[in-house]
Amino acid sequence: MDPKTLLQLAEQHGTPLVVVDHKVLRENYQQFRTLLPRVQAYYAVKANSDPAIVQTFYDAGASFDVASMAEFLIVHEKIEHLPPEQRQAFIWDRIIYANPIKAIETLQRLDPYKPLVTYDNYEEVIKIARHAPHSGLVLRLLVPNTGSMVELSSKFGAMPGEAVDLISFAHNNKLEVEGLSFHVGSQCTNLKNYSQALQLAVDVFAEARARGFDLKLLDIGGGFPAHYDDTVPSFKKLAKMLNSELDRLFPEPIEILAEPGRFLVASAVTAVAQIIGKSVRGGKLCYYLNDGVYQTYSGQIFDHAQYHLNSFKDGPTQFCAVFGPTCDALDTIGLVEQLPVMDMGELVYSENIGAYSSASSTYFNGFPPAKVVHVNQ
């Protein structure tokens, strides 16, 4: 999104403003499909659950990874116009409920849809068998998350050594296990995580086959990194490695799924905010914005991400501190942002802020979330 267009949109809609570029969403999805032709992309709705974003990916042919009933219903709303048999086929083939832990009430609501769901422990099998027996199951494995920005292995995943016992237990409870899944951690820049996870998975496939269980699919999860800066390895390099390993270890007809979220939406969104306060503290220039970590910049708290600020004006820069509008000192966007000297009322912007950001906005201190504007729909 070029600065001139951002300024025009800010003048038209006011600030704080979040601008979603659907052309970039479509380009990111097409890049994923082109570079990983065997892999069906199940967009991780939790990354940004805006219904307009879900609609764009739906129109592009994406499948969906949901992790709550609310997310499931956002996707289901897109297919309500289909005949019942087509709706059920879509739910079975193009939605995975990838939260390994589900409340009983959720399972009861999901069961009529005959969903594909993940699990990673014995208690979850018992719950599913009692409350959602029409589900198909995918066993989530514990795999290395070394170096990923958000580590998930401490919370989810069955030990590979007990995996086939968990498959057998599900079978004994009259449930069908369709395959395996794993997650290497969000914003994974350590490509070895993927290769190690694939080797663990192929070993489980082999043991399962030896014990009479025929697994049909592998879900390689998320973790595909957004290009926040040049320290992030190129997606093309990751895709080349994955294609080679998938063809070697999991030849057709094994179905390959993935759950990209951040990779698809991060670069499609830009935030624009206004300077509402200015001071010098300890010799450092400080700016206060009408957006902060309780709104669009929430990813800095919940996602361990840093969204750097840019000015619309040229000129010499200096290290500045930038804060959000609330009375909480936690509402700190950055302490070493490089910005020029600016006046009250001027605007700044942050790029690559589409994942785990505005989706987590709150009304803390009474400050509402930024207005969202969609372009190139």
State the Rg of the chain over Cα: 22
Q: State which amino acid sits at residue 27.
A: E
pLDDT tens for the 377 residues of the chain, in order? 899 999 999 999 999 999 999 999 999 999 999 999 999 999 999 999 999 999 999 999 999 999 999 999 999 999 999 999 999 999 999 999 999 999 999 999 999 999 999 999 999 999 999 999 999 999 999 998 887 877 678 889 999 999 999 999 999 999 999 999 999 988 988 889 999 999 999 999 999 999 999 999 999 999 999 999 888 989 999 999 999 999 999 999 999 999 999 999 999 999 999 999 999 999 999 999 999 999 999 998 888 888 999 999 999 999 999 999 999 999 999 999 999 999 999 999 999 999 999 888 999 999 999 999 999 98
Do 164 and 33 share a structural domain? yes
Do 314 and 289 share a structural domain? yes
CA distance 149 to 147: 6
CA distance 7 to 1: 10
Do 209 and 116 share a structural domain? yes
Sign of CA dihedral 104, 106, 112, 114: negative
Do 244 and 150 share a structural domain? yes
Backbone angles phi, psi at 133, to 5 degrees: -70, -10
Do 186 and 76 share a structural domain? yes
What pLDDT was estimated at residue 160?
96
pTM beyond 0.75: yes
The owner of tokens 């006046």 is 343
Pairing of strands 39-44, 255-258: parallel
CA distance 300 to 7: 24
**Which residue out of 188, 286, 320, 327 is catalytically annotated?**
327
What pLDDT was estimated at residue 188?
85
DSSP 88: H
The owner of tokens 């129109």 is 59
What pLDDT was estimated at residue 15?
98
Tokens of 9: 């949109």
Do 39 and 9 share a structural domain? no
- Distances in Å between the alpha carbon of 98 and those of 65, 117, 185, 245, 314? 6, 6, 14, 23, 46
CA distance 1 to 254: 39
Question: Which structural domain, as residue segments, surrounds residue 235?
Answer: 22-265
Do 95 and 40 share a structural domain? yes
Domain boundary among 242, 265, 288: 265
Domain boundary among 265, 283, 317: 265
DSSP 100: S
Active-site residue flag, 327: yes
Pairing of strands 39-44, 371-375: unpaired
Q: Between vectors from CA 106 to CA 100 and to CA 109, what angle results, nearest 5°?
A: 130
CA distance 179 to 213: 10
CB 323 within 8 A of CB 367: no
The owner of tokens 């395996």 is 180
Do 359 and 211 share a structural domain? no
Q: Between vectors from CA 364 to CA 363 and to CA 365, what angle results, nearest 5°?
A: 115
What pLDDT was estimated at residue 286?
98
CATH code of the domain covering residue 283:
2.40.37.10
Domain boundary among 216, 238, 265: 265
Q: At what angle do helices 22-35 and 51-60 cross, to 10 degrees?
A: 40
CATH code of the domain covering residue 74:
3.20.20.10
Do 225 and 160 share a structural domain? yes
Do 289 and 201 share a structural domain? no
Do 151 and 261 share a structural domain? yes
DSSP for 314-370, written as a single string: -S--EEEEEE-SSS-TT-EEEEEEEE----TT-EEEESS-TTTTGGG---GGGPPPP
Domains contained in the chain, number: 2
Do 59 and 12 share a structural domain? no
Containing H/E element for 255? strand 255-258
Interacting residues of 299 by C-beta distance below 8 A, sequence separation 6+: 305, 307, 353, 355, 356, 357, 360
CA distance 56 to 175: 34
